[in-house]
Amino acid sequence: VREVEDPLKVPHEENIEETLIRIEAELLKYFRIKDAILFSELVGMKERKEKVTYFLSILHLAYRKIIELRQERIFEEDIEIRLIR
């Protein structure tokens, strides 16, 4: 199996690091008041581009063991996001 590379080495359009910090902060705000948040609540009615950015970010935050994602039936349910304490 291929060696796990640093996810950020690959060329991205914009600096994803700043995006991750921004979205992590936004999530922490929610987690102060509740344990879990749904993806649709997070992105609300945001535009397609923003929806892609948020989705890629939660994938990276989960990869870094900051949050945990749960979706029993892929596409059919919403994605539940929880903070890993």
Partner 1 sequence: MYIKKIVLKNFKSFNKKVEIPFFKGFTVISGPNGSGKSNIVDAILFCLGLTPSTRYLRADRVGDLIYSGNGKLGEAEVTVIFDNDGEEIKITRKIKRTSKGNYTYNYLNGKSVNLAEIQRLLQNFGIYSDAYNVVMQGDVTRIAEMTPFQRRKIIDDIAGISEFDEKKAKAIEELEAVRENIERINTILIEVSNQLEQLKADREEALRYKSLIEEKELNLKYLKINKFLSLNRRKRMIKRDIENLEMRKDKILKEIIDINSKLNELNTKADEISAEIYRLADESYKTIQNEIIEISSKREGLKSSIEMKKKEIKDIEDEKTKLLVSISKLKEEVSKVEEELQKFSIQKMSVQEVLDDLESKKSLIISKLNLMDSAYSELRDQLLKKKEILDELKERKSSKVNERDRLLEVIRRIGMEIEDIEGEIETLRKESITLNEELKELNKKYKEVEKELEAAIKRRNEADNKIFSIRNQISSLEEEKKNLEVELSKIKAQLSLLESSFSKAVELILEAKSRKAMPGVFGTVSQLCEVDEKFAVALEVSAGNSLQYLVVENEDDAIRCIKYLKQIDGGRATFIPLNKIKKNFGDIKLDRSVLKEKGVIDYAINLIKCEKKFKPVFNFVYRDTLVVEDIDTAKRLMDGRRIVTLDGDIVERAGTISGGSKQKSKGILATKELFEKEKKLEEEITVIESRKAEMLGNLRLVEEERRIHQSNVEEINSRLSELSSKISVAESKLRDNENRIEELKEKLTYKQKERAEIYERMSGVEEEIEKIDEEIRKISGEIEEIEAKMRGSEIPALTRKLEEIKEEIDRNSRAMYSITKNLENSEFKLQQLKDLVLEKEIKIDELDRKIENLKKEIENDSQLYSELGERLITLKEKEKEVGESVKDLRDKRSKLLAEIKKLEKDRDEKRFEVTGIEETIKAKEESLKDIEEQIRELGEIEYDEEEVQNIPRMEHVKRRLEEIELELKKFGDVNLKAIQDYEEVKARKEELMSKKLTLEKERSEILEKIERYEKMKRDTFFETFNAINMHFKEIISKLAEGEGELYLDNADDPFNSGLYMRVRVRDKPIQKIESMSGGEKSLVALSLIFAIQKFKPAPFYAFDEVDMFLDGINVEKVAKLISERSKNAQFIVVSLRKPMLEKADSIVGVTLSKDNSSTVTGIKMKA
The SS3 call for residue 51 is helix
Phi, psi angle pair for 36, to nearest 5°: -140, 155
Toward partner 1, which CB reaches closer, 34 or 40? 40
The answer to whether 1 contacts partner 1 (rule: CB under 8 A) is yes
The answer to whether 3 contacts partner 1 (rule: CB under 8 A) is yes
Contacts of 10 (CB under 8 A, 6+ apart): none
The answer to whether 18 contacts partner 1 (rule: CB under 8 A) is no
Which window, 21-29, 30-38, 53-61, contacts partner 1 (CB under 8 A)? 53-61
